[in-house]
Structure 1
Amino acid sequence: MKTYPADKIHNLVLLGHGGSGKTAFAEAVLFNAKSIARMGKAADGNTVMDFDAEEIRRQISLNTTSATCEWQDRKINLIDTPGDFDFIGEVMQGIQVADAALVLI
């Protein structure tokens, strides 16, 4: 496993309301960074970020999930958060560990 100095590691939390495309955006980033071979879809139940049986059944994120990719010799940790306000605790966990946030509308 490759090691990275702290200044080359970035923790990016994805924020937005339910259905704003956070999980789809994460899939696209992972695919373009060649971390995954194909993009999954929440509707098909085959995304990297939504792997829990209940998430697949409901087709929404229920838990904060992370995935890693490499881009331009930097390690990017994507933190996908739920969009439903009922899971605000999960969102707060993601925000606490992030260096930056991307808000999807």
Structure 2
Amino acid sequence: MKNLALATVLSFVGITAFANVETPELETNNAIEIVVGDFEEIDVSDLPSAVTTAVEENYPTAKIAKAYKNDEDQYKLDLTLEDGTTGTVYADAEGNWIDM
């Protein structure tokens, strides 16, 4: 009976030893770059009227300093307020604001 118990324990240990799979180490020194979209600068005059209207309604004291457009017809707008404060907002072609 002792031999049966000992054989069972040894076989279990032998099976689990072969079942141990080495997992690769996680590399923590890699940098991850997230690309929101490839925006290319465009003239402010090339913006759709819906976008300029949205800026005028929501930011009445702001001027559009620079405008950018990506392949998905999304616009990145660098705004400057009268007090010198600057900020960036994103909009689609219909003048809806986008969170990015």
Q: TM-score range by the shorter chain?
A: under 0.3
Task: Name the one with the larger strand percent.
Answer: 2
The TM-score, its normalising length taken from structure 2, stands at 0.26
The TM-score, its normalising length taken from structure 1, stands at 0.26
Q: Which has the higher contact order (CA 8 A, sep 6+)?
A: 1
